[in-house]
Homo-oligomer: A and B are copies of this chain.
Amino acid sequence: MRIGQLAEATGTTTKTLRFYEESGLLPPAERMASGYRDYTDDAVGMVGFIHRGQAAGLTLAQIGQILRIRGHGQAPCSHVRNLLGGRLRELDAQIAELLVLRETISQLHAQAAEPEPDTCTANEVCRYI
């Protein structure tokens, strides 16, 4: 399979696939006599995995780790479980932070409801922030 067909099959672009190879996410593809990359069907699964990993909020670097462990013939299960656990803790922290921020902004927004107040003092930038 040529790179354009793989891109089509996985819903991405040839640019991105070359970028994944260069970044060590995909193993270097075999080449045809012409120099064109020649992918096996495995590649479709790997690119699909990259997309699912991204949807799970993993970085390309983390996805690359899993892919390389798998590439060495090992099962990456415990590594994956650790990554997911870490991601879960990050998400909880991030959500908590955003909820606090939402409260803050909501209050600022409500305060800014009064139009163009005369109570602005010249030496402050904005009464509301």
The residues of A with any CB-CB pair to B shorter than 8 Å are: 42, 45-46, 49, 52-53, 55-58, 66-67, 70, 75-78, 80-81, 84-85, 87-88, 91-92, 94-95, 98-99, 101-102, 104-106, 108-109, 112-113, 115-117, 120, 123-129
Q: Is the CB of A81 within 8 A of B98?
A: no
Q: Is the CB of B67 within 8 A of A125?
A: yes
> How many identical subunits does the complex contain?
2
A contact patch SS: helix
Q: Is the CB of A98 within 8 A of B101?
A: no
Q: Is the CB of B78 within 8 A of A115?
A: yes
Q: Is the CB of A88 within 8 A of B112?
A: no
Contacts of A92 in B (CB 8 A): 102
Given contacts A84-B108, A94-B98, A109-B84, contact A125 B70 (CB under 8 A): yes
Q: Is the CB of A128 within 8 A of B80?
A: yes
Contacts of A95 in B (CB 8 A): 95, 98-99, 102
Among B75, B88, B98, B99, contact of A109 (Cβ-Cβ < 8 Å) = B88
Q: Is the CB of A81 within 8 A of B46?
A: no
Among B66, B88, B99, B126, contact of A102 (Cβ-Cβ < 8 Å) = B88
Closest chain B residue to A70, Cβ basis:
B125
